[in-house]
Amino acid sequence: MEFNIEAARITSLPDDAFYISDFITEDEEDRLLQKVKSAPLPRWTQLSHRRLQTWPSALTKSNVLLTSPLPAWLRSPIIEPRFEALRIFNGVPHKAPNHVLVNEYQPGQGIMPHEDGAAYHPLVATVSLGASIVLDLYHKHTKDDREASGTLAKGGRDVAGIPDTNRKPQYRILQERRSLLILRGKMYTDLLHGIKETMRDEDLGPHSICNWELLREREPYQCGWYERKMRTSLTYRDVLQVVKMGNTLKILGGE
Name the pLDDT band for 246 (thresholds 50, 70, 90): low
Domains of the chain: total: 1
Residue 101: what pLDDT? 98
pLDDT single digits (tens) 144-185:
555 545 544 443 333 333 345 468 999 999 999 999 999 999
- Give strand ranges (E) for 94-196: 99-105, 111-114, 123-129, 133-139, 171-175, 180-184, 191-195
pLDDT single digits (tens) 106-122:
999 999 999 998 999 99
The answer to the question of residue 62 being in a domain is yes
The answer to the question of residue 255 being in a domain is no
Domain with residue 13: its CATH number is 2.60.120.590
From residue 219, give the alpha-carbon distance in Å to each of 135, 198, 213, 223, 226.
19, 21, 12, 8, 11
| Residue range(s) defining the domain that contains residue 121 | 5-250
The DSSP bridge pattern shows strands 51-55 and 99-105 to be antiparallel
Is the CB of residue 212 less than 8 Å from the CB of residue 59? Answer: no
The answer to the question of residue 208 being in a domain is yes
The answer to the question of residue 69 being in a domain is yes
The strand pairing partners of 131, in sequence order, are none
The whole-number average pLDDT for the span 237-244 is 96
The answer to the question of residue 212 being in a domain is yes
d(CA 131, CA 72): 24
pTM: 0.88
pLDDT single digits (tens) 14-67:
999 999 999 999 999 999 999 999 999 999 999 988 999 999 999 999 999 999
d(CA 73, CA 255): 36
The answer to the question of residue 23 being in a domain is yes
